[in-house]
Amino acid sequence: MSETSHRRMSLPRPLVAAVLSIAAIFAAASPVSAGQQAPTTVTKVSNTVDIRCAFLVYDRPGDWYFPSTAPKGTVWLQHGFSRANDHVDDLARRYAAAGFIVFAPTLPSSNIFGCTVSNLGNNTAFLNNVADLFGKASDPNDKLGRSFADAAAKAGRPGLQLPAKFVFSGHSGGGEAVSYVANRLRTEYPAAFARLSGLVLLDPVNSFTGLNMANALNGLNKTALPIHAISSPPYAANGQASGTKELTTDVKRDFLGIRLTTGSHCDAEGASTDTLCTLPNGAPQAANVSVLQEFATVWATDAVNGTSTATHRPAGSRYESLRGAGSIQTLSGT
């Protein structure tokens, strides 16, 4: 969708409130799936990070994940609408086991001031404040730096420096949020944008209203920033693949990622998912979760290293074995 596209309709506020109420009920009642055992070489620390919301400053919960080796980069991993950072714990551990520091905050899904992960009215001011975290990430005395230093000390890694290179990875509505923040860095924090190595979008979904993702992707299309998606087929839960369609419309590149042909919107959550996600979307298949985690970590590693692992791209052995088996399809912006 171009920047001149028609504005999408917003959901009525009572309907949004009902959705959030149902989400809370299911989240409380549904235990996280045991799933495949997560890596044991990863250290997880929970703390908070300061994010401005209108005239307030919120202490938002955040999880930090530390690899056992020297970190190669930092991944911001963002959950989607009506979810929390617990739901991306499995994937966060996979990124960390691949050598990344991972930062997974919980952002609100409902807020009177519009400070939400998805756009329910106008969340751009809040996402601008989220962007400020990463725009000033090189300052150890600023918001993200303070949260990281606290987590590193609790993890037994005092003095560890936050890696300068970042990868942004977002699931569902979080895919829109990380895209918006990436473009905000491009326009307002050029030094920080230079340290952004790539985006890995996980079945991204456009918000109920606004053009945040369209405007962001049109802006990022002007750059060489690596952008890849791992998506599921179009169906109601992912807005008929609204975010993936936005990506392939706005970013003009031959290769933009893969679609898991039997995928679920819950694949990115893996072993951390719950009934709220699986009831409308179906339970993730282990094979799809494994492929998503494999390709996400390979592409993130390529992004920070400036490399291109041929096996995980079209014509590569691993890629073609999956495509030949009918497990994946190619996403292209041409």
**How does pLDDT run across 154-213, given as a tens digit for each residue?**
999 999 999 999 999 999 999 999 999 999 999 999 999 999 999 999 999 999 899 999
Q: What is the mean pLDDT of the chain?
A: 90
Instruction: Please state the rounded mean pLDDT for residues 49-76.
Output: 97
- Structural tokens at position 276: 């709220």
Q: Closest by alpha carbon to 41, among 68, 74, 73, 70?
A: 68
Q: How far apart are CA 196 and CA 194, in angstroms?
A: 6
Query: What region does 72 belong to: left with phi over 0, alpha with psi -120 to 50, or beta?
Result: alpha
Instruction: Please state the rounded mean pLDDT for residues 61-82.
Output: 97
pLDDT reported for residue 334: 75
pLDDT reported for residue 38: 62
pTM, rounded to two decimals: 0.89
**pLDDT tens digits, 4-48:** 333 333 334 343 344 444 443 333 333 334 345 567 699 999 999
Cβ pair 293, 94 in contact under 8 A: yes
Structure-derived torsion over alpha carbons of residues 177, 146, 48, 294, reported in degrees to the nearest 10: 50
SS (H, E, C) 103-153: EEECCCCCCCCCCCCCCCCCCHHHHHHHHHHHHCCCCCCCHHHHHHHHHHH
**pLDDT tens digits, 202-241:** 999 999 899 999 999 999 999 999 999 999 999 998 999 9
pLDDT reported for residue 327: 98
